[in-house]
Chains A and B, each alone.
Chain A
Amino acid sequence: MRPEPLLSIRNLRTRFKTYEGMVTAVDRLSLDVHRGETLGVVGESGCGKSVTALSILRLLPSPPAEIQGEILFEGTNILDLTPDRIRQIRGNAISIIFQEPLTSLNPVLTIGEQISEAIRLHQGVTRQEAWKRAVEMLELVQIPSPDARAHEYPHQLSGGMRQRAMIAMALSCRPQLLLADEPTTALDVTIQAQIIDLMVRLKEEFRTSIVLITHNLGLIAGMARRVVVMYLGKMVEEAPVKDLFREPLHPYTQGLLESIPWIGQKLKTGKRLLREIPGIVPNPLEMPEGCRFHPRCPRVMEVCRKEEPPLKELNGGRKVLCWLWN
């Protein structure tokens, strides 16, 4: 028997009321995050991966959002907590890194002030002590001359530096769970490599569990141990990372893996054309009947058009939402 997971999401459904109707961004999602592991969540825009992260931290205003289901963090349902209690968890036991550090850092506070604010709030230490720890955190994320940098404002730092500051802030209270929402997407390749290295190192040091949300399969392959693939609000596949890349089961995952070019591929296969997933992601207001992927699926069957497939559990911790496996 595995130990109890750190985070356990059961039947999460997040919907938004819009003028055109109800949009279901996340639909009956269930997943577990175990202690010390990195869970990758992969999918294209609109698949609900960011909304999942925001739902976990209750960062979605309600209305327009409606959240149902259970989000158990160490056994307590986050969705039942009072605003005061959730504030004690946010930034403390669970923290988040956003994609765009320039818009998610406060432009009128210095980096040092922002980091020490979180430390003061959650650890009840003095201003001086909090500042000292903030500088230590900046040093830990390898920002050169952290003493001076702590006095600077976000716009004075480069993109990579800002993302480091963001990580310093997220980790300043030693969270048990870190939600990383596209942490390197806005960064250049060489800076991305620095941030990945940093995250891997800090994860070992702090024994933090990470939920890595990204569209970049290369990043998933390098960092995650288990992967959840999402499409239009649904989890369509879950698997250990090696199995997912070696033998993807869902036609969407297969299409996704085959449609990305990788270095050396053209030389190996001699093909100038990539395999593509036909069509476009449907409008969430006009969700297809049956399986949501069926209008784009190369292996579509009659049943797929009419009925939604059940989530099938297979050996080796694999799950797939597809009629081919039922």
Chain B
Amino acid sequence: MVAGKFSAGYGTDGGNSLALLEVHNLRKDFPVRKGLFSGTRGSIRAVDGVDFELREGETLGLVGESGCGKTTVARCLLRLIEPTEGEVLFEGEDLLKMDREALRKVRARFQIIFQDPYSSLNPRMNVGEIIAEPLRNHTRSSRGEIRDRVCFLMEKVGLHPEQARRYPHEFSGGQRQRIGIARALALNPRVIICDEPVSALDVSIQAQVINLLVQLQEEMGLSYLFIAHDLSVVEHISNRVAVMYLGRIVELATDQELYRNPQHPYTQALLSAVPVPDPEVQQRRIVLQGDVPSPLNPPSGCGFHTRCPERIDLCTNEVPAFRDLGNGHWAACHLR
């Protein structure tokens, strides 16, 4: 069950590193209530059968526009929200079948960094307490050991240990993101989910945080699931990239393959729409018509057919399978 289907490896170049995290057929439905007392009236399928794997030491980028389900995937993986269906294998064990205590133990090695450094830190705790909290909850370290570990972590992420007594509001956005990273690193995790870690930051600070993540990965052998909507940032940091649209992964390939040779019409449009910071380049943008359809009332067949410039009749009736196009390049499109 664990290896079988994935031995070929989605989007890997036949690498021999181990899959740390395997996600099979992940689904999440949110109930929709009409009015306060009338009970459930249907549901929104936020994540609709997502499969991928994360290998040791790699960064897998997950891109997509707002509402595509990328943050829901992140939260389902850690069971911060309960998925409706699927399997999440972390080091071979299914997280979705674990009881609270087992899950708590796994979370020591499986951490997350959130987008908004303003709301994800407790304003009533000082920085030292924030970083020490996972150590207190998961280890039996003495006060002295915790203090040393906090100092070490703060230096590691580029903060001064003297700042440990300060509170989050005394720090800038970039520094707060460093605090969040230090907290995530406290228990020596193997996998970190980075959910839009730089999108709230200014350009000059963004580069600092990206560099910090890259350096930490090389030093500590971390694996990242890097979720973002900024395609240039994702390309920069990832080894492989998955593109999501309306709750499904529509394309998955190595960073080079995906950016040089995008196959899915959505990926092509998305890449062409990124403004190029060079005035000498005449951009040929593929401008998609209309908006992303509401997941409350998703289109039949391929979710992208309402905006696809290459639509054929088949697309409106049948959901395309997620197929291997060779070289670990996967796409879900009838035309490919």
Q: Which A residues contact B (CB, under 8 angstroms)?
A: 44-45, 144, 158-161, 188-194, 196-197, 215-222, 241-242, 245-246, 255-257, 259-267, 272-278, 280-281
Contact = CB atoms under 8 A, between A and B. Distances in A.
B279 A222 contact: yes
A264 B203 CA distance: 18
A218 B231 CA distance: 12
A221 B287 contact: no
Given A261-B233, A261-B236, A44 B274 contact: no
A154 B8 CA distance: 49
B323 to A, nearest CB: 24
Contacts of B139: none
B287 A193 contact: yes
Contact of A192 (B175, B236, B273, B277): B273
Nearest to B217: A272
A242 B279 contact: yes
Contact of A257 (B205, B210, B260, B277): B277
15 contacts: A188-B292, A189-B65, A193-B287, A215-B202, A217-B277, A218-B275, A222-B275, A222-B279, A241-B279, A259-B206, A259-B207, A266-B236, A272-B214, A280-B175, A281-B204
B255 interface: yes
B232 A259 contact: no
Interface residues of B, number: 47
Nearest to B269: A190
B106 interface: no
Most chain B beta carbons < 10 A, residue from A144, A158, A215: A158
Contacts of A219: 275
Contacts of A189: 65, 229, 231, 270, 273-274
B285 A44 contact: no
Contacts of B277: 217-218, 220-221, 245, 257, 260, 262
A38 to B, nearest CB: 12
A246 B279 CA distance: 9
A221 B207 CA distance: 20
B152 interface: no
B210 A44 contact: no
B162 interface: no
Contacts of B211: 273-274, 276
A158 B295 CA distance: 13
What 7 pairs between A and B have smallest CB-CB spacing? A218-B275, A259-B207, A188-B65, A261-B236, A193-B273, A277-B204, A44-B202
